[in-house]
Structure 1
């Protein structure tokens, strides 16, 4: 049990620190280049573990089309490109808090597109609290002298909303195959790497080497730890605790992101603190609400949050 708690805390730390690493790297290379380096560094440990566990099989080739859709939408665009673009324009703590809205947009997408999903009061309250938390970060009342870049907020929200829609795609097209989460993540990440190798302009990518902190942040922090190792930890927690408890690491992520932002000298005030509390409360209410609405159902949603921070 002690190992389980350690894995839980480490997962929250790895996810929460990602935003600062992204912020550092954007000073030297583009968002797409950061995405490429991150996926490359994260894919290697995933592939090694997947091969060791023998979860990749020939029978999975008939799902390659669905894997490709998830690779482009839920991996290359969401987690890696849009999140980097948003983080480049925002304080890392604010970006981390907005990243916590994944659960809210996932709930909205499932209610809109899946007939089996039913809204209850707890879920409605969770969505409302989530939007209130987003509002405290976006500060729509600031017309002149804005302190938060609204484009950064929109990039972050586009990422989390796209991820919510991708959850529906998984439920509709991949859930019936009952694939191991590790296999799905490896296919997604590997195909996303292929797409990025073909599309990314690597001109100037060596500029990241000017700062070894930024280089280590992308390769080790974002890639090896924040992507590859984070998923392995999540996979372990799924086995030990189950999907609902394992996804509780998303509570830790906004707190870690805001704490690191404060330590790094970024401004953290009452609005940011209020926002993180609202987002955490939103996650809790949505999880409780969905448990009540789906008692006895199999939670393939556990696959998605592992790619989500």
Structure 2
């Protein structure tokens, strides 16, 4: 694997905080922390608007944030637009609506821990698309991780009702993410991540507008939900993608993907400390198993 370092070297004249963010450690930790905090911001946003309003607000804010980057405005061939439209639906509009619906039924910590299964689901979808059985090491990682998913979900599934529905909504969103990642990979390799993400977010904003705009206009707005949704959109749906792209270019995709290991612990910590949510010990053990399974898979990918 080739690691590009020279073009990403941080000049000494720039502020120290920027050097920390764009350093190797920052490029892994910062996106993971932002995505982990996203579940707290969704919970806060739901105090003002419904799920469709949360989805539309964050997608539009993310689109406007990426629009500020010249690299995101690079032209794309018309032939790529059908696949970008698929991403707009499966990667943006639908899952970003499912998560707020889920958080009306389960805690933000639970949603964040279940989201840690994205690498596992993506690996499984890739194997199905390739119609080829993964290596023994990857199968081991999948087995460990999927066991973790069951353990995370089990306390909520046992209760049935709204809690079980919330778990199923998150798992549906994670499945769509897994499909989308495999659709996005060739597009990103050809055109770069930012132009693809910008256009997918723009289409997703149009798709979520009919149900989202009325909720936004009728929302019970206070300062906390406004700031939460702005942060969720600009950082969680915009800037974090930029940092993730920089990490992939500088560190390689396998090492950059370690940011997902930060997401679940951050979501758990913020849900418990800030929102006072209670989480079953079995779910915490399951989240650790999800991370362990994803780490096994990523190490196998790196070695390959």
CA distance in 1, matches of 2:149, 2:110: 9
Normalised by the length of structure 1, the TM-score is 0.84
Which residue does 2:7 correspond to in 1? none
Q: Deviations over 1:82-114 (max 9, x none)?
A: 222222211111110100111111111111121
Q: 1:30 aligns with which of 43, 50, 64?
A: 50
**1:245-297 deviation line (CA, Å, top 9, x unaligned):** 111100000010001111021113422321221111011012123334xx3xx
Structure 2 residue 75 is matched with structure 1 residue 65 = no
Q: Which runs of 5+ in 1 are unaligned?
A: 296-309
Asked if structure 2 preserves the Cα contact closer than 8 Å seen for 1:55 and 1:180, the reply is no
Could you say which residue in structure 1 is the equivalent of 2:105?
A: 89
8 Å Cα contact 1:41/1:223 also seen in 2: yes
Structure 2 gap segments, 5+ residues each: 1-18
Residue of structure 2 aligned with 1:121, choices 123, 136, 148: 136
Partners of 2:113 and 2:72 lie apart in 1 by 36
How many angstroms apart in 2 are the aligned matches of 1:54 and 1:194?
Answer: 18
Deviations 1:146-200 (A, max 9, x none): 59811111001111111222233345x747x712111111111111112222x32
Residue 241, structure 1, aligned to residue 248, structure 2: no
Q: Which aligned pairs between 1:1-309 and structure 2 lie closer than 5 A?
A: 2=20, 3-4=22-23, 5-49=25-69, 52-53=70-71, 56-57=74-75, 59-78=76-95, 80-115=96-131, 117-139=132-154, 143=158, 145=159, 149-170=163-184, 174=187, 178-197=190-209, 199-220=210-231, 222-264=232-274, 265-292=276-303, 295=304
Counterpart Cα distance in 1 of 2:169 and 2:72? 37
Cα 1:148–1:128 change in 2 (3 A) is farther
Whole-Å separation in 2 of the counterparts to 1:148 and 1:271: 19
Distance 1:45 1:141, change over 3 A: closer
Asked if the contact 1:106–1:164 (Cα under 8 Å) also holds between the matched residues in 2, the reply is yes
Q: CA RMSD of the aligned region, Å? A: 2.3
Q: How far apart in 2 are the matches of 1:74 and 1:109?
A: 14
Mapped partners of 1:71, 1:125: distance in 2: 32
- 1:38-87 CA deviation, whole Å, 9 max, x = no partner? 011111111111xx236511x52331121111111111112x11222222
TM-score, with length taken from structure 2: 0.85
- Identify if the C-alpha distance between structure 1 residues 168 and 239 changes in structure 2 by more than 3 Å, giving closer, same or farther: closer
Task: Please say if residues 45 and 228 of structure 2, whose CA atoms lie closer than 8 Å, have aligned partners that are also in contact.
Answer: yes
On the 8 A contact 2:157/2:163 being kept in 1, the answer is: no
